[in-house]
Amino acid sequence: MKDLIIRAGQHVHPHELEAAAGAVPGVRRGCVAAFGVPDERTHTERVVLVAETRAPEAERPALARRILDAVTPVMGEPPDDVVVAAPHAVPRTPSGKIRRSACRDLYLRGGLAQRATPRRTLRAWLAAGVVVAGVRRLAAACATLAFAAWFWLVVGLAFLLGWPAVRVTPGAARRRAVLRGVARAALFLLGGFVAAARAGVAVVPVTFVGTRTALRGDQWFPRRAHVVVCAFPPVAPGGAAWADALHLRDGVRAAMLPSLGEPDLAAE
C-alpha cells in the first residue's frame, strides 16, 4: 500500500492504471509505471504515468492520447501527466519489478523530460479530458434524477387514477381486477419491455414453476416445494415504437404460458 496514490481524497491504485495503459497497442506490456508526486498548490498528489514504447518519436503524441483515453475511465478523470518514454526508461529491480519510487525520482529530476510528450499538447488533452469527464458525470447525475422523477410520477399517477377507480368499482373481485390492471400499467411503464424495444435487445422469458405450492396466495407461511426454473429462446422486438413494446410483452407472455399450466389472467 506504500505506492497508493491519494488524489483529492481519492485512493488511486497504481497497478490498475498500469494495467489499463499497458493494454494500449504500442505500449510495452509490463513497462508502465504510475506514481504520485506532491502538489504544493492543492496539498494533494498529482498522478503521473510513464509508459515505454518502441514507436518513433513522431507517433508518441498520438500514443500518449490513447493512453490518456484508456486510463481516464479507470480513475474517473485524466491523470496529470503522461510520459511516453523509450525502452528501458522505467527503472526495475534485478528481478524485473517496476521501481515506482525510483521512476518518480527520475521524473522529478527531469530525467524523463527528453522523452516526454510536449507539455503544450498534453495540457490541451488534459483540459479536454477534464471537461469530458465533467460532462459525463453531469449527464449521469441528470439521468439518475430524471429516472427518479419518472418513477415517482408514474407511481403518483397510478395512485391518483387507480385509487378512485378502485373505490367506485362494485364488488371485491372487480376491484381486484381494476387494481391489478393499474399495477400492470404502472409496472409496464417502468419495466424493461419499453427499454428492450428502444434498444433493440431481445428478452429471454424465464418462468418459475412451483412457487405457488411453496407460498400460497392466501397464506404467509412458506412450505418446502420443488421449484423448476425454465428458460426459453429470446424474443426479439419488432421495432422501437410503443406498439412494438406491447407486441414484445405479448410474445414473452405467450412463450411463458405453456410451461405454467395456468390461464392467462390478462384475457379475463
**Looking at the structure, do residues 143 and 113 belong to the same domain, yes or no?**
no
> Hey, is 238 helix, strand or coil?
coil
Task: Kindly state whether residues 112 and 36 are assigned to the same domain.
Answer: yes
Asked whether residue 52 falls in the same domain as residue 17, the answer is yes
Domain co-membership, 169 together with 256:
no
Distance CA 180, CA 188 (A): 12
Are 145 and 231 in a shared domain?
A: no
Helix, strand or coil, per DSSP, at residue 38 = strand
Q: Per-residue confidence at 114, pLDDT binned at 50, 70, 90?
A: very low
pLDDT, mean over the chain: 77
pLDDT band at 25 (very low <50, low <70, confident <90, very high): very high
CA torsion 58-109-21-46 (nearest 10°) is: -120
Q: Is the dihedral of CA 149, 150, 151, 156 positive or negative?
A: positive
Among the candidates 87, 117, 147, a domain finishes at 117
What domain count does the chain have? Answer: 3
Within this chain, do residues 143 and 227 fall inside the same structural domain, yes or no? no
pLDDT of 218 over the 80 cut? no
pLDDT of 47 over the 70 cut: yes
The answer, yes or no, to whether residue 70 has pLDDT greater than 80, is: yes
Neighbours of 181 (CB within 10 A): 13
Averaged pLDDT for residues 12-26: 90
Q: Are 244 and 237 in contact (CB under 8 A)?
A: yes
Nearest CA among 118, 56, 52, 53 for reference residue 81: 118
Q: For residue 36, what is the domain's CATH number? A: 3.30.300.30
For residue 127, is it within any domain?
no
Cα 223 from Cα 211, distance rounded (Å): 10
Domain co-membership, 95 together with 150: no
Residue 64 lies in a domain: yes
Q: What is the mean pLDDT of residues 181-193?
A: 62
In 127-253, beta strands by DSSP E: 206-209, 228-231
Tell me, yes or no, whether 124 lies in a domain: no
**Does 66 share its domain with 10?**
yes
Q: Which pairing describes strands 81-85 and 44-53: parallel, antiparallel, or unpaired? A: parallel
Residue 80 covered by a domain: yes
Note down the domain range covering 266.
197-268
Residue 125 lies in a domain: no
Residue range 53-62: average pLDDT?
A: 89
From 60, 87, 117, the end of a domain falls on: 117
| The pLDDT value given to residue 96 | 85
Q: Is residue 123 in a domain?
A: no
> Most confidently modeled of 76-90, 152-166, 215-229, 245-259?
76-90
Confidence of residue 214 (pLDDT cuts 50, 70, 90): low
Same domain for 49 and 147, yes or no, is no
Instruction: Say yes or no: 113 and 10 in one domain.
Output: yes
- 115: pLDDT confidence band, cut at 50, 70 and 90? very low
The answer to whether residues 186 and 262 belong to one domain is no
180 and 266 inside one domain:
no
Model confidence at 119: pLDDT above 60: no
Residue 224: what pLDDT?
64
In terms of phi and psi (left: phi > 0; alpha: psi -120 to 50; beta: otherwise), the region of 227 is beta
Task: Confirm whether 89 is domain-assigned.
Answer: yes
Please check whether residue 19 lies inside any domain of the structure. Answer: yes
